[in-house]
Amino acid sequence: MRLRYLNLRLYAPLSDIKVCFASDTAWTPFSVGPPDPCAIHFVVGLNGSGKSHLLRALAAIFVSLADGRLPGFSFSLIYELGAAHNQRTVIFNSPGASSEASVWQAEDTIFDKFADEQIFDSAIEALTNGENESFTARIAPGDYPQAVTDLLPKVLAYTSGSWDAWSEVWRPPLELNDEGFRFTEGEDFPFDLERPPGWTQQDEESLDNFENEPEAQPLLPHTYVDASDLLNRPILLSGNRPDAALLSVVLQGLQSGQESGPTPSLLAELYQKAGLHSLVSVRLRLDLNRALTAPRAMQQKIHDALLAAGEVIALPDPNDRLRALHFDIGAPIPTNADFLDQRLSDAKSQDEALTLLLGEQSQSAYGRFNELSRWLAMGLIEGVELSIRRSEKPGVDGELDIGIMSYSDLSDGEQMVLRRWALFQLLAEQQDALLLLDEPETHFNDAWKREIVHFIEGAMGKDTSHVLIASHSAIVLSDVFDEEIIHIVKKTDGSSIAQKVKKRTFGTDPSALMMDLFLTDDSIGMRAQRRIEAFTTHIRNQETLTAEHIAELKLLISRLGTGYYRSELQTLVRKHEQDNDTRALNQTIMKLESSELKTELLGFLHTRARKEGDDSA
């Protein structure tokens, strides 16, 4: 999946945003062979400029395409699906009214990698005028909506900030057009009549018998009872889903280790950075009441999960029947278990049984995450808890054992780091995926920020996917090309526009990016800047620098770290010392007896001084 063009007419504070996503970057001088197919773009700007809004607008467009509705704002979106040998281009155009919305596709028709907004706008205009024969209307104007799930990429979104605005994007709209469900302006909204999407007359009639079944549980709004629903709809990684992603990736690492040796190096490196040496156990908090009203196929999975767990503990709760299912890593499954899924009978350990419960043997981490997310969405399990070991067990050399601790006992920062590293690995080997990350570097130290792009590329670099990141970290941006950056700039009227970055960013000093992109006055802190500049102004105002002044300058330089100010002050000291040397030479020259030699030496000194002045200018 590759984003190519986005046109947002108005998505406050964004106004008339037109973004051309570079389909290729300037890798030719840096590597041999073609660049990795994964595209990585960063959205940057000052706080309040709307960089998170750009990501949410994209999420809203894909959610609306999955739900068969419009997101409430006009837009045009062009993206590519498929690998290089089998690509197709999709155009989703919604000028405003639903009668004008349309979806188009073209097989093996790809826009040039240097295409600009005029080329994209012309192609969209040709479609609306019936002049573009390369594209076929999957949904012609006036026919929207229809199901086009085959044109949907896998979309995951995660934010390190507030979930409120993001949750609004995923909230299903209220359908108020059915007979018997109308109310006039000023009338109180009849919340007791509200029904989830997909509610049928049969569901309504079943309410009559509901009071006679005290143990039955009401359905959850927008419940995912079909795995295809969850696979085709974009996913917001809120609630317990980041933990489900982490568990899926860790289980995948365990399986890879069982099949081909040690944990993959990149995954092991991620664990080490985040303080996870190995997984010890998994606990699932199960709601039996929900399980008893689940579809039969799901009930069978829950049955096998109860048998495969090493320990099942009843949890005290006044209203619900809750059970904690413990799966110990490496521990054998209970003997004589009568599994409904015969594959589990051959499982060698509890973690292997849990892995099989979440998918086939060849399932990817993303597939298991989808299954686990379905359990969460249906309310079958209320939480995922991991126990981890943070270091090796004590060896013969007496190495310190930090011990085993619960994932929930880690600091908030450590938990967030583990979750985000897992997201990069979750989409590994997934084609046509779009990962939207809203400021993922929050809570990362500077060393980890430097490696974000490296780990994304290591996990997803060989896949035809797209990663779009809103960021305000100059350290991260020094690792990307300027073509990969979308600069959101706030105008004086409060609206924001998108601009191209005018200076090179790849391999640039982060302090320069701070001033260029985030408009900082200087590359150092305000406290240091104020004090250093006050002292240097005092020195420069002196008519003559005395030996005492120079001594003060040298003392100040000894207290400064590397950077612009240290270099400037060292230049000032050297210039003063050179001036002293020049004066001494002049005095010595004037004492010479040869007039010819005097003239020659003084001319040399004058020429040298003039050249140094030109160089400094």
Stronger pLDDT, 263 or 550, i.e. the higher one: 550
76: Cα separation from own chain's centroid: 23
Instruction: Name which residue leads in pLDDT, 341 or 445.
Output: 341
Looking at residue 222, its pLDDT comes to: 36
Query: pLDDT at position 262, please?
Result: 58
Other beta carbons less than 10 A from residue 553's beta carbon: 19
Residue 325 Rama label (left phi>0; alpha psi -120 to 50; beta): beta
Strand (E) or helix (H) holding 365: helix 365-377
- pLDDT tens-digit readout, 101-138: 999 999 878 888 888 999 999 999 999 888 878 899 99
Could you tell me which CATH number the domain at 2-165+432-517 has? 3.40.50
pLDDT of residue 34: 66
Model confidence at 211, pLDDT cuts 50, 70, 90, reads: very low
Question: How many of the other CB atoms lie within 10 Å of CB of 414?
Answer: 16
The yes-or-no verdict on residue 189 having pLDDT over 50 is: no
pLDDT more than 90, % of the chain: 21
Render pLDDT for 271-287 as a digit per residue (tens, 0 to 9).
Answer: 666 667 778 899 999 99
Q: pLDDT by residue (tens digit) across 64-103?
A: 998 888 888 999 999 999 876 788 999 999 998 888 999 9
Q: Is the pLDDT of residue 182 over 50?
A: no
Instruction: Quote the Cα angle for 319-325-326, to 5°.
Output: 140
* pLDDT higher than threshold 50 for residue 167: yes
Averaged pLDDT, 156-171: 88
Name the band, by pLDDT with cuts 50, 70 and 90, for residue 188: very low
Q: Which residue carries 């240290």 as its tokens?
A: 566
Residue 320, Cβ neighbours under 10 Å: how many?
13
Q: Report the pLDDT value the prediction gives residue 33, as an integer from 0 to 100.
A: 62
More confident residue, 136 or 193: 136
What pLDDT score does 525 carry?
72
pLDDT digits (tens, 9 = 90+) for 432-455: 999 999 988 887 878 878 888 888
- Arithmetic mean of pLDDT, 462-467: 90
Query: Could you tell me where the DSSP H helices lie in 181-309?
Result: 201-206, 227-232, 241-260, 265-274, 288-292, 296-308
What integer pLDDT is reported at residue 227 of this predicted model?
A: 39
Q: Residue 374: which H helix or E strand, with range?
A: helix 365-377
pTM of the model: 0.77
Q: pLDDT per residue over 235-271, tens digit each?
A: 998 878 888 888 988 888 887 766 655 555 666 666 6
In angstroms, the CA 515 to CA 534 distance is 21
Cα separation of 233 and 64, whole Å? 9
Paired with 284 in beta bridges are 325, 384
Which sequence spans correspond to the domains of the chain?
A: 2-165+432-517, 239-426, 526-616
pLDDT in tens, 476-528: 888 888 889 999 888 877 788 888 888 888 888 888 878 777 777 767 777 77
Q: Are 366 and 248 in contact (CB under 8 A)?
A: yes
How many whole angstroms separate alpha carbon 459 and alpha carbon 439? 19
Distance between CA 101 and CA 127 in Å, rounded? 12
Q: Highest mean pLDDT: which of 33-37, 302-306, 562-566?
A: 302-306
Instruction: Give every CB contact of residue 473 below 8 A, 6+ residues apart in sequence.
Output: 441, 449
DSSP state string for 65-115:
HHHTS--SS-EEEEEEES-TTS-EEEEEEE-SSGGG-EEEEEET----TT-
Q: Could you tell me which residues are beta bridge partners of residue 470?
A: 43, 438
Q: Is the pLDDT of residue 208 over 90?
A: no
Q: In whole numbers, what is the pLDDT of the chain averaged over residues?
A: 79
Rounded average pLDDT over 191-205? 51
- What is the reported pLDDT for 138? 92
